[in-house]
């Protein structure tokens, strides 16, 4: 199932955050683990666009949907990720509907946007075809994940959710807590009130809702609140925690 189809249902979609490892086998590892999607990060990872181009092929081969979080709202970051075949595009710190509309202009071809034309390359799998058909197919496939991680984003959540072309509101919980003046306080009244507002906006306009979660119980709790894209932890932390637990147990059990 593609990302566009996933955003059309409130059934749970479960994935993983890729911020460190872009090896050729990563797609098949995620598929074997049961992931529906991956969130591939360019904002904090240091991955290059050349790495994205390779990684798109890895996830396509494994039939795992791929969301690429680009590092900024600059046109060349957004359009290049689309040209390289990214099915899902995530933008950090989207605060207003006007910003979201500018992003959609970079994601979508005419008549839905203003994206520069590049055909028979990676995004359309190098296949020839009628130009208008290519535009329509690309516009139907590309999926926009709008990241709510500022007080402005919360304030404008309903306007963002109402905008055609915004497929999912995605809460960036750490940055949002900082913007709200309560760094790391995810249980306090201020943060919970903000989340309630975003949940209501997504529900009202029938948009998907996503978040990164550090553990299984948090994911279950958020699903019950209305979140349907649940991104479980990241490659760095899963490897680190599993290895630390095993090495610690070995060290404790192998003492003389």
- Identify the CA nearest to 197 among candidates 212, 213, 214, 209: 209
| CATH number of the domain encompassing residue 27 | 3.20.20.60
Give the catalytic positions in this structure: 44
The predicted-structure confidence for 111-140, as pLDDT tens digits, reads as follows 999 999 999 999 999 999 999 999 999 999
pLDDT at 209: 98
Provide the whole-model pTM: 0.94
What mean pLDDT do residues 162-187 have?
A: 97
Across the chain, the runs of DSSP E, i.e. the strands, are 13-18, 37-41, 65-69, 88-91, 143-148, 166-171, 208-213, 229-234
pLDDT at 228: 98
Domain count, the chain: 1
Split at pLDDT 50, 70, 90, the class of 1 is confident
Instruction: Note down the domain range covering 199.
Output: 3-253
CA 160 – CA 94 distance, rounded (Å): 9
| Token reading at 156 | 């404008």
Split at pLDDT 50, 70, 90, the class of 255 is confident
């Amino acid at each position: 199932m593609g990302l566009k189809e996933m955003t059309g249902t409130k059934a749970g979609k479960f994935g993983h955050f890729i911020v460190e490892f872009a090896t050729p086998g990563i797609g098949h590892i995620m598929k074997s683990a049961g992931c529906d999607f991956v969130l591939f990060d360019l904002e904090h990872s240091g991955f290059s666009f050349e790495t994205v181009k390779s990684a798109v092929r890895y996830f396509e081969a494994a039939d795992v949907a791929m969301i690429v979080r680009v590092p900024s709202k600059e046109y060349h970051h957004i359009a290049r990720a689309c040209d390289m075949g990214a099915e899902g595009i995530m933008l950090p710190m989207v605060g207003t509907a006007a910003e979201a509309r500018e992003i959609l202009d970079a994601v979508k071809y005419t008549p839905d946007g203003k994206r520069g034309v590049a055909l028979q390359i990676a995004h359309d799998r190098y296949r020839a075809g009628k130009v208008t058909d290519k535009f329509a197919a690309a516009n139907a496939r590309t999926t926009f994940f709008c990241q709510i991680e500022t007080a402005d984003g919360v304030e404008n959540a309903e306007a963002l959710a109402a905008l055609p072309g915004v497929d999912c509101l995605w809460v960036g919980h750490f940055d949002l807590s900082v913007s709200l003046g309560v760094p790391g306080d995810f249980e306090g009244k201020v943060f919970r009130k903000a989340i309630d507002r975003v949940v209501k906006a997504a529900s009202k306009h029938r948009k998907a809702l996503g978040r990164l979660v550090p553990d299984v119980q948090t994911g279950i709790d958020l699903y019950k609140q209305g979140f349907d894209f649940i991104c479980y932890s990241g490659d760095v932390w899963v490897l680190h925690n599993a290895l630390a637990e095993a090495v610690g147990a070995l060290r404790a059990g192998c003492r003389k």
